[in-house]
Amino acid sequence: MQQNNREAIRQILIFNQEGMDEFASYAKKAIEDVMNCFPDYKDRFPIKIVGNWKSGNYRTYENGKFNLTPYESIDWYIEQAKKKAIEEGRWEPTKQINVDEMCHCLLLDPYFRKIPQFGIYLTKYDLYSYNASNYCLGQTVPGGFSVISTNRFWNTNKFDIANFQTVVQHEFGHILFFTNGDRSNVKEALGPHCTVAYCIMQQRMNGNMSDITEKRLFRKLRGFPPMCPDCSKQGVSTLDRVCEIYKNGLVGR
């Protein structure tokens, strides 16, 4: 399909907690590198940094204090994940938040359900989930959005941009169903993951993405994509399917 110079059908939106605009820029560049591998589609899926989004009625004043309005700010989603962590005894002393709770709230978000989009949500807090109880770098609802933490990419006072961008690309690949399909080179490890040695869609149970990042950057310098041909093929299939849905007038979720 030739998609260039046609109207956008679904935005890739990047949201972040307050004070994290720089990290949103890193994420945008990482996603641009992925979408550049799909030249027939990238113009129809523009990438936009929304930042620390708040609606006009993101909070209310009641009983002498301000309260965040449900679904009307990024801060509200973070607050729900933090409340769940407090209930489960994970907020103290780890300062972790429950990413499953945040994903659940995002799935119910009226804006997400009404406006076609792919979402990237960045938080400074460490994440845990019921599938990865110790911690996780990010979690994705395929076809929808990813929640990604910057917490574990700090080494003293230096932020590891390269490994962070590898994780962003990995989670974005899950949004686009890179590892779906009947494939012999996919294995189940907290979700379907690729087994090709250089592909960004590999799984690292210990969270160390350094070797994958090294191969990604090596390939980038030589003009090669960060994913294997099979993951790329599945990405084309997903983007093509979204275009067909739009063409048929089924633009909602």
pLDDT band for 252, please (50, 70, 90 cuts). Answer: very low
The verdict on whether omega for the bond into residue 93 sits within 30 degrees of 0, i.e. cis, is yes
Q: Report whether pLDDT(4) > 80.
A: no
pLDDT tens-digit readout, 125-153? 999 998 877 899 999 999 999 999 999 99
Give the three-state DSSP class for 47.
strand
> What domains are defined for the chain?
11-247 (3.40.390.10)
Cα–Cα dist 198/41, whole Å = 24
Beta strands in 74-130 (DSSP E): 96-98, 117-123, 126-128
pLDDT tens-digit readout, 83-132? 999 999 999 988 999 999 999 999 999 888 788 899 999 999 999 998 87
- Global pTM reads 0.92
**Per-residue pLDDT, 63:** 77
Sheet holding 138-141, edge to edge: 47-51, 11-16, 117-123, 145-149, 138-141
Q: In DSSP terms, which residues pair with 141 in a beta bridge?
A: 145
pLDDT tens-digit readout, 202-231? 987 666 889 999 999 999 999 999 999 999
